[in-house]
Chain A
């Protein structure tokens, strides 16, 4: 490789736009955001220094703790839901199914749709006056109630359902590709030994697919941290503040409540949390192994 690193300036020049983006749009903005979070800024940035005041307020804010709690509930249920449903779909599709490509198309199409579309459709289906509840009442089951959208303690689960609907197909697609890579001999051997199929899946196939699972989890986790559109379209954070999420907290304080210091403090907390969780993983994934890291 060495001789190829000529004193050629062109690659450096070609990377100038990227350098500019990295320096200004990534590093610069993060530094700026963190700086503002230590000030008393309102609508306009002020460059005083008030220490941890905004963080203190943030961690005492009921709305923030509800947001974080919701993110945890949504995150766990959404990821587990997608993995379980996606895995089952992939396994069942891998049984020499007639019309497999039809099923595949059906399971994956929601993933092509935006969270805004997903949220609006599910909000309509779950509409407490004209949605499922009313339909079932009209069918004769008059005592049926399904008003989770107007119940603060339940609305978050509807977000999970909508999210799983949108993204389970993604897990299915990734795992199906993995299942197709499982050696036929394993199945032959298992049949010879009379081991039931579910045991083979549980103790041999799933461990073999572990890197696929990791990929899926990472993809889903990114969606969880960025969760915003779905909430805006489906519940608007309500009823009350029962389905608020951190990303929405930041946007609201940034643009509506004229307190950019508190907003940037919240954003900084999100940043640090992601960094702590993902940093080591990214490092091990890409940099330990050098160029050939794949």
Chain B
């Protein structure tokens, strides 16, 4: 997935009408992609009286940060009026351990499968691979029952376990494909030097896994942050992540609809993955391509 700095299309000929057409298309497309973000931002700065005048595209006449303050600290979901900040903390509490555990397990799997080729390795790999594609609905009910049997249903460890379970296929695949490309001789040399399973993993493999660790982290952080279904079903009312909290705030049946607050809360929810996206730049694209389950 190497990027070359220069575009390779047909050579440009000065400023012809076709060049203008190309730019026009790109600018219009950019407008389409930016429009929702623009609407979110202006709506969140308007205040309800202005919104009810009914021009969602207009800039705010009197910009106010009040909706943001309410969204952060005062918006209600049911009787709780603590804003979306509760969800932020929960999302971090879910996201950090889930990311860590799933990457660690994925790396161990990838390493074991590609270098040690243990018995049944292919079976594990095949099932995980298939697991990545199967709709989650197939697993939900038995998992709810299993987790409630062991007292983990609606708890933080429970939701972390669920994210780990369903993050495992892609993580395993990612690391397996990465390690498959590592020269086998390197591994053989380490074996000759007497390195055991864990020594080679921590001393040799992890240090050279920098790029794939970054990619895996980007995938998991955005994936887990953006999750709605698992948070809704497994997290329990004390651990609801931000996406679920957001949907609750928007659909709460107390008071009138505050579109300004809703949009501010929406932007706040999108903030973490957007920051990851803008900071990681090309790594994000690599992450997508790697997560494409394409070896």
Q: Do chains A and B touch in the complex (CB under 8 A)?
A: yes
Q: Select which of B7, B143, B276, B277 is within 8 A of A94 by beta carbon.
A: B7
Of B36-44, B65-73, B152-160, B203-211, the one with at least 4 CB within 8 A of chain A = B36-44
The reply to whether the CB of B270 lies closer than 8 angstroms to some CB of chain A is yes
A235 to B143, CA, bound (A): 28
A92 to chain B, nearest CB (A): 5
B24 to chain A, nearest CB (A): 10
Question: Interface on chain A toward B: helix, strand, loop, or mixed SS?
Answer: helix
Of A47-55, A56-64, A145-153, A171-179, the one with at least 4 CB within 8 A of chain B = A171-179
The reply to whether the CB of A218 lies closer than 8 angstroms to some CB of chain B is yes
Number of contacting residues on B, CB 8 A?
114
The reply to whether the CB of B168 lies closer than 8 angstroms to some CB of chain A is yes
The reply to whether the CB of B222 lies closer than 8 angstroms to some CB of chain A is yes
Known contacts A18-B124, A30-B139, A94-B9; A124/B34 CB under 8 A: no
Would you give 14 A-B contacts (Cβ < 8 Å), ordered by A? A28-B146, A95-B19, A109-B277, A109-B278, A114-B225, A116-B243, A116-B246, A120-B246, A120-B266, A165-B32, A179-B8, A180-B4, A197-B9, A254-B140
User: Which A residues are closer than 8 A to B by beta carbons?
Assistant: 1, 4-5, 8, 10-12, 14-15, 17-19, 21-22, 24-30, 32-33, 36, 45, 85, 88-89, 91-97, 100, 103, 105-118, 120-122, 124-125, 127, 129-132, 134-135, 137-138, 165, 169-170, 173-174, 177, 179-180, 182, 184, 187, 190-191, 197, 200, 211, 214-216, 218-219, 222, 225-226, 228-229, 232-233, 246-247, 250-251, 254-255, 260, 263-264, 266-268, 270-271, 274-275, 278-279, 282, 285-287, 291-294
User: Which B residues are closer than 8 A to A by beta carbons?
Assistant: 1, 3-4, 6-12, 19, 22-23, 25-26, 29-30, 32-37, 39-40, 43, 51-58, 105, 108-109, 112, 114-122, 124-143, 145-146, 164-165, 168, 172, 177, 180-181, 184, 187-188, 191, 196-198, 222, 225-229, 233, 243, 246-247, 250, 259, 262-263, 266, 269-270, 273-274, 276-278, 284-285, 288-289, 291-295
